[in-house]
Amino acid sequence: MAWYKRMEIPIAITTVFALYMIFEYFFNVPALKPVTSSLLVFVEIMGVFALGLGFISILMVHVPNIRKKRLYWPYSIPLLILMFFLTIIGLPTWAPTPPKEYGTSLWILGYLHPWFQFLYLNVIVPADATIFSLLAFFIASAAYRAFRARTKEAAALLLAGVLMLLKNAPLGTAIWMGFADIGTWLIGIPNMACMRGITIGIALGTIAIGIRTLIGRETGYFRGGG
Amino acid sequence: MSKSVWERMMDVDRRVIYLLVFILIMWPLVQPMGLPVPIASITKSVYDAVEAVPDGGMILFSADHGFASIGENGPQLWGFMQQVFDLQARKPGIRIIFFGFWMEGTLITDTYLKNLGKGRADPNYGKTYANLGWIPLAETGMAVWAADIHRTSAKDMYGNDIGTLPLMKDLKTLKDIVDKYPHVLFITVESGTPGLPEFLRQWQEPYNIRKIVVACTAVSTPGMMPYVGTGQIIGVVDGLSGAAQYEVLIRKPGEASAGTDALSMTHFLVIAFVVIGNIGYFAMKGRKVS
């Protein structure tokens, strides 16, 4: 295998930069600040390239979908049309001589352009919010089917769920203010204790993954799984 | 064989539930009930923290949510924006910087600024407040922005070089902001990742930003409570009901106040169906045992 294809190289790069960033985070060394800042900007630039990658990835999935007329292929057409359309009109272009009221620059196209604003206000926002709102219907149906007191644990979950519903609904607290106190206690004491446990567990897991990455045992982040 | 009443109670057609949810959402919107909205202590803490920003203080305002959650985050953002500009009118030394780590959030901020008569055409823009727009790359973006604002947000939302904005000219890093302004309040309206935990890691600890208030979707509130308990955040505006409470506190009833009646009705519908389902379940269980 050619030397530049060896796995040790990306592992070494990851380890060196990770150790540097950890050192810089925990030991506030002013002399290192400009280096860190440049590194972070570099990461940001690299990350923005991922947008282009996403664009290509969508093309690679949906163009063959249409050509081969796979299942649900007609949905790929509006997706691609809107992707190109929004990308083109979303790209900022500056007018060479902007009117005074706009200061030093004016976007001919870009996200402040009336076409983009029209699509954003009248298509994207309502469509996105509508999809999310459908959850209300599914949750109502799912809660009805799932909240059955089949066991003591399920009964406790059911009771806690109902009390939280009564706390969150102004009608519940209008009937009896005690629902607000009970709900606040539930979210502030037992919930907080559980969430602390989960948060600490996630932190420990993250540290473990970090250490495995540093010593080259975690290779899932390159070469499609290592 | 036809189903018994108990079986029917256990297995109501989901289309019936959907129809009732639809009716109970629409009815209070058409015919508001005007139910009283009790104020939770975690919401009041947020309101008090914003009101406590002194003349000469700085408010960092981040909209970190998408269009999907606009039903909950929209009224929260709108409530905060009305309050901070009212506050600035009373205390002219207050400065506000808007930005966001979710692209959609910054577009909504811009729309609300326009609704308030603010934005790029306002003569005070760039002097007393600025809108830096979207900062990409989530947690990494937070670290980059904090370390070098002018390189990360080279242009504001409207394409101006931020070095030309009097407010931003001398603010090159988050440390500059903290050093220049003795009182910095950070407001984040959010619905997921990146959100509060990332801000705590990248901003609160390294830059000692102690005054943080959060508005989030109701489903995220349980995850915020440990940070309230430790004092890392001052309070939480909890979903639509929190937004309605906030509207009561700022004395500007709006979308959230109208929506809470629908929230009440649908919550009670869910409770009613849960009770019906359980009656059916226990009746069937009793019959099987006998």
Give how far B145 is from chain A: nearest CA, Å.
9
Domain boundary among A139, A155, A173: A139
In a domain, residue B148? The reply is yes
Domain match, A85 and A30 both: yes
Q: What is the CATH number of the domain that holds B178?
A: 3.40.50
What residues make up the domain containing B85? 41-253
Mean of all residue pLDDT scores within chain B: 93
The string of pLDDT tens digits covering residues B32-66 is 888 888 899 999 999 999 999 999 999 999 999 99
* pLDDT recorded at residue A223: 61
Give how far B282 is from chain A: nearest CA, Å.
9
Tell me whether A46 touches chain B (CB under 8 Å). no
Q: Which residues contact A26 (CB under 8 A, 6 or more apart)?
A: none
Domain match, A18 and A63 both: yes
Minimum Cα–Cα distance from B17: chain A residue: A141
Average pLDDT of the segment spanning B103-114: 93
Q: How far apart are CA B54 and CA A211, in angstroms?
A: 44
* pLDDT recorded at residue A216: 85
Domain boundary among A109, A139, A169: A139
| φ/ψ of residue B144, rounded to 5 | -65, -45
Give how far B246 is from chain A: nearest CA, Å.
14
Q: Does position B266 have pLDDT exceeding 60, yes or no?
A: yes
Which residue bears the tokens 């890392």? Answer: B232
Q: How far apart are CA B104 and CA B84, in angstroms?
A: 21
Domain match, B138 and B231 both: yes
Domain match, B247 and B271 both: no
In a domain, residue A118? The reply is yes
Q: Please tell me whether the peptide bond between B222 and the residue prior to it is cis, using omega within 30 degrees of 0.
A: no
Domain match, B230 and B146 both: yes
What residues make up the domain containing A126? 94-139
Domain match, A11 and A83 both: yes
Q: Which residues of B touch A144 (CB under 8 A)?
A: 12, 17, 270, 273-274, 276-277
Q: Which residues of B touch A173 (CB under 8 A)?
A: 36, 38
Q: How far apart are CA A219 and CA A224, in angstroms?
A: 9
The number of folded domains in chain A is 2
Per 3-state DSSP, what percentage of chain B is helix, strand, and coil (rounded to 5)?
55, 15, 30
* pLDDT recorded at residue A225: 47
In the stretch 87-126 of chain A, residues with CB closer than 8 A to chain B read 92, 94, 101-107, 110-112, 120-121, 124-125
- Interchain contact, B68 vs A150, CB within 8 Å: no
Domain boundary among A120, A139, A158: A139
Find the CB nearest A44 among B69, B137, B206.
B137
Token pair for B123: 């003569």
Q: Which residues of B touch A180 (CB under 8 A)?
A: 38, 40
Angle between helices B221-229 and A190-214 (to 10 degrees): 90
Domain match, B191 and B48 both: yes
In a domain, residue A119? The reply is yes
In the stretch 71-130 of chain B, residues with CB closer than 8 A to chain A read 71, 104, 107-108, 110-111, 120-121
The answer to whether A83 touches A58, Cβ cutoff 8 Å, is yes
Per-residue pLDDT of chain A (226 residues; tens, 9 = 90+): 788 878 888 889 999 999 999 998 888 888 998 898 888 888 888 888 888 899 999 999 999 999 999 999 999 999 999 999 988 888 877 665 555 544 555 556 777 778 888 888 898 899 999 999 999 999 999 999 999 999 999 999 999 999 999 998 888 988 998 999 999 899 999 999 999 999 999 999 999 999 998 888 887 777 654 4
Domain match, A6 and A49 both: yes
Average pLDDT of the segment spanning B259-266: 91
Domain match, A34 and A84 both: yes
Q: Which residues contact B139 (CB under 8 A, 6 or more apart)?
A: B194, B198, B201, B202
Q: Which residues of B225-244 are buried (b: 16+ CB within 10 A; e: fewer)?
A: bbbbeeebbbbbbbbbbbbb
Domain match, B244 and B275 both: no
Q: State the burial class of residue B206 (Cβ atoms within 10 Å of its Cβ: 0-12, 13-18, 19+).
A: middle
Tell me whether B263 touches chain A (CB under 8 Å). yes
- Interchain contact, B225 vs A101, CB within 8 Å: no
In a domain, residue A202? The reply is no
User: What is the per-residue DSSP string for B234-264?
Assistant: SEEEEHHHHHHHHHHHTT---HHHHHHHHHH
Domain match, B225 and B284 both: no
Domain match, B184 and B272 both: no
- What share of chain B has pLDDT > 90, as a percent? 80
Q: Which residues of B touch A41 (CB under 8 A)?
A: 144, 148, 151-152
Domain match, A23 and A80 both: yes
The string of pLDDT tens digits covering residues B181-236 is 999 999 999 999 999 999 999 999 999 999 999 999 999 999 999 999 999 999 99
Domain match, A9 and A34 both: yes
Domain match, A73 and A133 both: no
Domain match, A122 and A135 both: yes
Give how far A205 is from chain B: nearest CA, Å.
15
Domain match, A77 and A133 both: no
In a domain, residue B36? The reply is no
What pTM does this model have?
0.90
Domain match, B199 and B216 both: yes
Domain match, A78 and A112 both: no
Which helix or strand (DSSP H or E) is residue B39 part of?
none
- Interchain contact, B120 vs A166, CB within 8 Å: no
The number of folded domains in chain B is 2
Average pLDDT of the segment spanning B138-142: 92
Q: Which residue has the higher pLDDT, A38 or B73?
A: B73
Domain match, A81 and A101 both: no
Which helix or strand (DSSP H or E) is residue B3 part of?
none
Q: Does position B250 have pLDDT exceeding 90, yes or no?
A: yes
| φ/ψ of residue A49, rounded to 5 | -60, -25
In the stretch 4-63 of chain B, residues with CB closer than 8 A to chain A read 12, 14, 17-18, 21-22, 25, 35-38, 40-41
Domain match, B170 and B280 both: no
